Structure 1
Amino acid sequence: IGTTPAKQESWKFLGTLVSAATVGAVIFILNEAYGFVATPEQPNPMVAPQANAMAAIIEPLMAGSGVSWMLLGIGAIIAILVNWLGISPLAFALGMFIPLPLNTPLVVGGLLNHWINKSSKDKALNNARHQRAILISSGFIAGAALFGVLGALIIFLTGNGEVLNLNLWADPHGTGAQIVALFAFIGLLAYFVWETKRAKKED
């Protein structure tokens, strides 16, 4: 294709630098817009369970305040027992520390994945549906992440944490908002199932 190892390595290093700069900028913007820890300025921070879990482990080590080795040991024993029972320790651990609002879509996705893999007696068709389901799910995740960063960027540039609030409901956590969100979630699931069922063995 007209390239050389030196050019490939140069572009790889450039890609690494651009990626690192982009990630750093995104984390900075998210922290300024939402925050990761509850503070007087950010009373409702963005949920970051994995980052907070790692911070809870690393902070005592760095501060020299002592680590709860007993809890870590209990966790290791539970992981061994769970693995012995044939359950993924990683999946079990994620289910333990990820908040319920984030965990519920994971459970629904797991149930859908199980149903898709068993939706036909034709293994080739099931595999095609599974691959399309992965593609659609990846698109959902990427789209949600991009819009989340875009929203944070708007808040960061305007300096107004309520700029994205359309004030459709007096109480964003009230019954009306929850019902609309539930119907939107059901609609998303319906589209997911419909699009997945369109997969063919030739795909």
Structure 2
Amino acid sequence: QIMQIVGTVSSAIVLGLVLDILHTAYTIGSPTLSAPQATLMKSVADGVFSGNLPWGFVYAGGLIAIVLILIDLRQEKVGSDFRVPVLAVAVGIYLPITLTVPIFIGGMINHFGKSAGGSSASEKRGLLMSSGFITGEALMGILVAVPIFISGQKYWWPQLSGISLLGPILFLAMIFWLYNAVSKK
């Protein structure tokens, strides 16, 4: 119990500092540091409390969910590998395209890795690698925010010509690396 208290207090201190750094550097909720889940919940809460909730969209979403559940039940009944989980579709609808495209690419890597005869151990390795990529991206976002927080200058790093090609090249390299890990037998 003592260690639970230590963990709670230390994480509250660290998370408070990290959120302050991120908000100062990027502004939480801005396009640079969007918060789609929080924005969605805020929109729903504002709509409910103000009485201006667009019920047409709510009903349409409910109808789409019912149709997707029925399709998924049919797919399960016939033993299909292709399923339509309603939660995954809902997340895909409200997340911005900058998040849904990498999720889709990850799903395709998993699909093609299985098609190439990848084992379940390979699939677990791919899941761990993907989790590591996500965690690494989050940690790098915090580390890049620290100099911005300290100096107040958003563009503290040197501007190099041709550096904009590095992102897509590294992204393709990560896709290749992840596919190789997932498709191993």
DSSP 3-state at the match of 1:85: helix
Letter in 2 for 1:33: A
Which among 157, 179, 196 is matched to residue 150 of structure 2?
157
Give the Cα–Cα distance (whole angstroms) in 1 for the partners of residues 22 and 90 of structure 2: 25
Structure number with higher helix proportion: 2
Q: Which string of whole-angstrom CA distances, capped at 9 and with x for unpartnered residues, describes residues 98-121 of structure 1?
A: 22222211111000111222322x
Q: TM-score of the superposition, structure 2-length normalised?
A: 0.81
Percentage of matched positions with identical amino acids: 30
Give, in whole Å, the separation in 2 of the partners of 1:65 and 1:21. Answer: 38
C-alpha distance after superposition, 1:20-48 (max 9, x if no partner): 3333332222111111345xxxxx53222
Matched with 1:71 is: 57
Q: How does 1:37-52 map to 2 (within 5 A)?
A: 37-38=29-30, 44-52=31-39
1:96 aligns to 2:71 (yes or no):
no
CA distance in 2: counterparts of 1:23 and 1:14, whole angstroms: 14
Give the structure 2 partner of residue 112 of structure 1.
109
Distance in 1 (CA, whole Å) between partners of 2:94 and 2:165 is 27
1:79–1:130 CA distance, 2 compared to 1 (3 A):
same
> Would you say the 8 A contact 2:119–2:183 is kept in 1?
no
In 2, the alpha carbon distance for the partners of 1:97 and 1:139 equals: 24
Letter in 1 for 2:98: P
Q: CA deviation at 1:177?
A: 5.7
- CA separation in 2, counterparts of 1:143 and 1:180? 17
In structure 2, how many angstroms separate the alpha carbons of the residues matched to 1:102 and 1:163?
26
What amino acid does structure 1 have at the position aligned with 2:38?
A
Q: What is aligned with 1:57?
A: 44
Q: 1:92: Cα distance to partner?
A: 0.7
Superposed, 1:105-184 pairs within 5 Å as 105-120=102-117, 126-164=119-157, 166-169=158-161, 179-184=165-170
CA separation in 2, counterparts of 1:19 and 1:84? Answer: 43
Letter of the structure 2 residue corresponding to residue 114 of structure 1: H
Deviation digits for residues 59-110 of structure 1, max 9, x if unmatched? 3345x35322332232222122212211112211121122222221111100
Structure 1 residues 152, 65: CA separation in 2 closer, same or farther (over 3 Å shift)?
farther
How well do the aligned residues superpose, as a CA RMSD in angstroms? 2.3
Q: What is the CA distance between 1:197 and its match in structure 2?
A: 4.4
> Between Structure 1 and Structure 2, how many residues are aligned?
174
Unmatched runs of 5 consecutive residues or more in structure 2? 73-83
Name the aligned partner's letter for residue 74 of structure 1: A
Q: Unaligned regions of 5+ residues in structure 1, if any?
A: 1-8, 39-43, 170-175
